Amino acid sequence: MIRSTIPSITSPQVLFHLPRRMLDHCFAPQDLQRLAKSFHCHFPTGNEDDELNDAWLANASETMAVVTGWDSPRITEAMLAIAPRLEAIIHAAGSIRPFIPDSVWDSSIRIATANEALGKGVAETSLGLIIAALKGFFPCSQLTRSGDWQSALPKRGFGRVRELYNVKIGIIGASRTGRHVLRLLNSFDAEILLYDPTITDADAIALGTRRVSLHDLMKLSDVVSLHAPALPQLRHMLGSAELSIMKDDAILINTARGMLIDEGALIQELSTGRISAILDVTNPEPPQPNHPFRALPNVTLLPHIAGAISTGSLRQGHSVVDQLLELQQGLPMHGEISRANFEIMA
């Protein structure tokens, strides 16, 4: 079943094809009110796939745009076949890959996501972790809990205190998250290195960074922050060869996906005490209770909180509403993706 808001009998229709809990989680009342001034909106009242699919059957023939999100039922070719007026599918999260059929790219339906809005939160968290890692917040907290103070700070190794000045920060991946990290880092007096084979040297300069090989980035960086997509060809892109050439006292931060790192190789390197890591993601999640990541002293393990968890999710809904209004006005949707984009996104 659905609940509708009806501003006008001639208003274009938007179907929210996502569970009610996700609607409440990602869309602030003021954004839905803003949307309802221009669209006839069909909102879900339940969370079950059958309810949402029934709503599609009842409304797809008159729907101009569909909004999906976390936990949406997958849209099938048969569902698209009964939506002749559908102009756009907008995903209120990052990757839309699990929710649409490949055939959608052969149609005139436009695809957009809230990837940029989601990426901003991850990027802001990543900047915080870069600063916290260099400053040694996490080991210093343990040091003071044990009764020590500044005089006990280590000169080398885990807990060495540095500032975000006169250091090299390596960014792997010029994704939307990676690009926002670069923008944030441009406010600091640090040298920023970038590895991404899909962009040019000129692109990197425009982003305020210098494009280097993965080998050079791993070898030169004081902090390596990972922002590559979780594509099959990038599985274990950081293995023993890459990890072994990191500088002594270097820090690896992963807020992307656990599958990008060979965790066995990382455990081996971390066990030497030569480098440290802050890991917001692992593969699988969560790691087992006896996993080395939970015990190694030079690992800070976070429970996948870099992305939107609470209030940050509302930024995604805000982005979707903005894009629906852009669509209505005949403007490019700021989160629109092409088939080419889709092939290199997570």
pLDDT tens column, 129-157: 999 999 999 999 989 999 999 999 988 88
Which of these, 46, 93, 40, lies nearest to 63 by C-alpha position?
40
Q: Which residue has the higher pLDDT, 210 or 342?
A: 210
Q: Is 90 exceeded by the pLDDT of residue 3?
A: no
pLDDT tens column, 210-266: 999 999 999 999 999 999 999 999 999 999 999 999 999 999 999 999 999 999 999
Residue 7 lies in a domain: yes
231 and 333 housed in the same domain: no
Residue 276 lies in a domain: yes
174 and 87 housed in the same domain: no
With b for 16 or more beta-carbon neighbours within 10 A and e for fewer, the 327-337 pattern comes to bbeeeebebbb
Q: Is 70 exceeded by the pLDDT of residue 299?
A: yes
User: Mean pLDDT over all residues of the chain?
Assistant: 94
Rounded distance between C-alpha atoms, residue 49 and residue 79, angstroms: 14
Rounded distance between C-alpha atoms, residue 343 and residue 206, angstroms: 24
Count up the domains in the chain and report the number: 2
104 and 139 housed in the same domain: no
- The pLDDT assigned to 10 comes to 63
Sorted by sequence, the CB contacts under 8 Å of residue 298 that are 6+ apart come out as: 157, 158, 270, 273, 275, 276, 277
Residue 306 lies in a domain: no
What does residue 312 show for φ and ψ, rounded to 5 degrees?
Answer: -65, -25
Residue 286 sits in a domain whose CATH number is 3.40.50.720
Counting residues of the chain whose pLDDT is more than 70, the rounded percentage is: 97
Rounded distance between C-alpha atoms, residue 40 and residue 91, angstroms: 18
pLDDT tens column, 103-123: 999 999 999 999 999 999 999
Residue 229 lies in a domain: yes
pLDDT tens column, 320-329: 999 999 999 9
Query: DSSP code of 7?
Result: S
108 and 123 housed in the same domain: no
133 and 101 housed in the same domain: no
88 and 194 housed in the same domain: no
7 and 23 housed in the same domain: yes
Tell me which amino acid residue 256 is. A
pLDDT tens column, 13-70: 999 999 999 999 999 999 999 999 999 999 999 999 999 999 999 999 999 999 999 9
Edge-first strand order for the sheet with 189-195 is 210-211, 189-195, 165-172, 223-226, 251-254, 276-279, 299-301
Residue 266 lies in a domain: yes
82 and 125 housed in the same domain: no
Residue 262 lies in a domain: yes
Q: Give the mean model confidence (pLDDT) for residues 267-296.
A: 97
Q: Give the mean model confidence (pLDDT) for residues 174-188.
A: 96
127 and 224 housed in the same domain: yes
- The pLDDT assigned to 9 comes to 45
Domain that holds residue 297: 119-301
- The pLDDT assigned to 8 comes to 42
Residue 214 lies in a domain: yes
| 3-state secondary structure at position 93 | coil
pLDDT tens column, 187-203: 999 999 999 999 999 99
- The pLDDT assigned to 345 comes to 74
Residue 68 bridge partners (DSSP) = 91
15 and 54 housed in the same domain: yes
Handedness of CA 104, 106, 111, 116 (dihedral sign): positive
pTM (2 d.p.): 0.89
168 and 248 housed in the same domain: yes
pLDDT tens column, 75-95: 999 999 999 999 999 999 988
- The pLDDT assigned to 344 comes to 79
Residue 153 lies in a domain: yes
171 and 145 housed in the same domain: yes
